[in-house]
Amino acid sequence: MSLASVSRMEAKLLLPTYERQPVLFVRGRGVYLWDPEGKRYLDFLSGIGVNALGHNHPVIQATIKRQASRLIHISNLFFHEYQAELARLLTEISGLDRAFFCNSGTEAWEGALKLARAFAQANNKNGSKPKWRILAMNNSFHGRTFGALATTGQPKYRAPFVPLMPGVSFVKFNDVEELQRKFDSSVCAVCIETIQGEGGICPVDPEFLKLASRLTKESGALLVLDEIQSGLGRTGRHFAYQHYGVLPDIVTVAKPLACGLPLGAILTTERVATCFHPGMHGTTFGGGPLACAVAIEFLREEKKLLKHVRAVGEYFQGALKALDKKHKSIQDVRGAGLMLAMELDSAELAKAVARQLLQQGIIINRTHETVLRFLPPFIIQKKHVDQLIKALDAALHNHAETTKSESAKEEKTSSRGRKGNHAHA
Ligand SMILES: Cc1ncc(COP(=O)(O)O)c(C=O)c1O
């Protein structure tokens, strides 16, 4: 099948939810993907932070083959060998006590919101109205289901679907005073992406996160962190909150957990977990034997790669900052580990750069209009970073030259115009 025939059929048969890039991928290995003509692409996006071990990792491939030939699905009505072991590994690295497994990021987030409300009800001892308000952040992104949308602080995602779940107020991200002002005893949860991903790779300020932690602790509310994009090794630590010395009451993870098989998880403390009872929450598919067997192998590999992520991440960020000194169009470089961003001065430029790189066989992503987002596989090496930086440098240079010659042309035309006017005068 060709790109043309696939895209023609999709245009006719799918809901029009995606604006796909014009590439058909048929194969991947390590940090590379290939199209049907054999053109190779260097992957600096890893399926939006999912393929952390790269494509076709031999251990993951072997695990899928082995497990698929034994048992794929049994439902959560029975035991299988892998959920408890996966929960043990996740609780060990997170510092939390218990896990619930689901299928995606948004589903993990929905479960986390339910857990926060259920905890507030279970701990409402004096007969007054239980805590119910949720403080969420401007510019956040938590997914596409209704609870996730209700806590996503970006009108473009929410507006077409109102009315959403009630009880959510938004706080300006990293505005300590506003958090203090909007927080009161009716709040059951403060919800934060430790590093806002879709919103342009914006890390939470230490002061803001510490205040959220203190306020929730003091009032009996919960600190709920979304680490669906930033968690599980992406920043060079198991969780981004581990850079801050803060422990949340609930954390959600998903993306890289099962290396491309759908799997998400809610992790929480013993104290919070006790408010869930059989029947209050569940899923048919979540935490099946195939995905969990793969996730166990992922976590073994992730542990070995943390140091590498920190080293290559630092090198990568340093190289992006060197470009920042060179190109006026770069507004900012930020992020941690291998979750990095370069903010440009216009959406058109960001679009043009991403398009030019794709044509050259390098996959990056544009988010939040002006931000180039880099979420490469953890196995990326310095030589791959060098290749990307060279391509970015050239694309930004080309743009600067084009802009220069266009404004020179404009200047010429308008000065001719001015001369003309003089002649008339
Ligand atoms: C921080 C964050 N939360 C939630 C989600 C939603 O995850 P999913 O697309 O798996 O539902 C995403 C997806 O990009 C995300 O980045």
What tens-digit pLDDT sequence spans the chain (425 residues)? 899 999 999 999 999 999 999 999 999 999 999 999 999 999 999 999 999 999 999 999 999 999 999 999 999 999 999 999 999 999 999 999 999 999 999 999 999 999 999 999 999 977 788 999 999 999 999 999 999 999 999 999 999 999 999 999 999 999 999 999 999 999 999 999 999 999 999 999 999 999 999 999 999 999 999 999 999 999 999 999 999 999 999 999 999 999 999 999 999 999 999 999 999 999 999 999 999 999 999 999 999 999 999 999 999 999 999 999 999 999 999 999 999 999 999 999 999 999 999 999 999 999 999 999 999 999 999 999 999 999 999 999 998 888 777 777 787 777 776 654 443 33
Q: Give first-to-last CA distance, the chain, whole Å.
A: 67
What is the reported pLDDT for 65?
Answer: 98
What is the reported pLDDT for 295?
Answer: 99
What is the reported pLDDT for 292?
Answer: 98
Q: Which atom of ligand 1 is nearest to the CA of 107?
A: 11
Ligand 1 centroid from CA 298, angstroms: 19
What is the reported pLDDT for 88?
Answer: 98
What is the reported pLDDT for 418?
Answer: 60
Looking at ligand 1, which residue's alpha carbon is closest to its atom 10?
Answer: 105
For ligand 1, is residue 367 a contact (CB within 6 Å)?
no
User: For the chain, what is the largest distance between any 2 Cα atoms, rounded to a whole number of angstroms?
Assistant: 92
Q: Note the pLDDT tens digit of each residue in 283-299.
A: 999 999 999 999 999 99
Alpha helix positions (H), 274-381: 289-326, 347-359
For ligand 1, is residue 198 a contact (CB within 6 Å)?
yes
Looking at ligand 1, which residue's alpha carbon is closest to its atom 13?
Answer: 143
For ligand 1, is residue 141 a contact (CB within 6 Å)?
yes
Contact 141, 199 (CB under 8 A): yes
Dist. CA 76–CA 264, nearest whole Å: 15
Residue 324's Cβ-count burial label (10 Å; 0-12, 13-18, 19+) is middle
What is the reported pLDDT for 422?
Answer: 42
Q: Note the pLDDT tens digit of each residue in 401-413.
A: 887 777 777 877 7
What is the reported pLDDT for 408?
Answer: 78
Ligand 1 centroid from CA 116, angstroms: 19
Helices 83-94 and 289-326 meet at what angle, rounded to 10? 30
Q: How many CA atoms lie within 13 A of 113 on its CB side?
A: 26
What is the reported pLDDT for 206?
Answer: 98
What is the reported pLDDT for 407?
Answer: 77
For ligand 1, is residue 195 a contact (CB within 6 Å)?
no
Alpha helix positions (H), 98-246: 105-122, 146-150, 155-158, 176-182, 206-219
Ligand 1 centroid from CA 232, angstroms: 14
For ligand 1, is residue 197 a contact (CB within 6 Å)?
yes
What is the reported pLDDT for 76?
Answer: 98
Contact 312, 234 (CB under 8 A): no
What is the reported pLDDT for 276?
Answer: 98
Alpha helix positions (H), 135-237: 146-150, 155-158, 176-182, 206-219
What is the reported pLDDT for 405?
Answer: 79
* 3-state secondary structure at position 31: coil
Q: Which atom of ligand 1 is nearest to the CA of 255?
A: 10
> Residue written as tokens 């104290």?
271
Ligand 1 centroid from CA 218, angstroms: 29
What is the reported pLDDT for 406?
Answer: 79
For ligand 1, is residue 105 a contact (CB within 6 Å)?
yes
DSSP state of 51: -
What is the reported pLDDT for 125?
Answer: 78
The helix or strand, by DSSP H or E, that contains position 101, with its residue range, turns out to be: strand 98-102
Contact 365, 327 (CB under 8 A): no
Angle, alpha carbons 388-392-394 (nearest 5°): 120
Contact 32, 363 (CB under 8 A): no
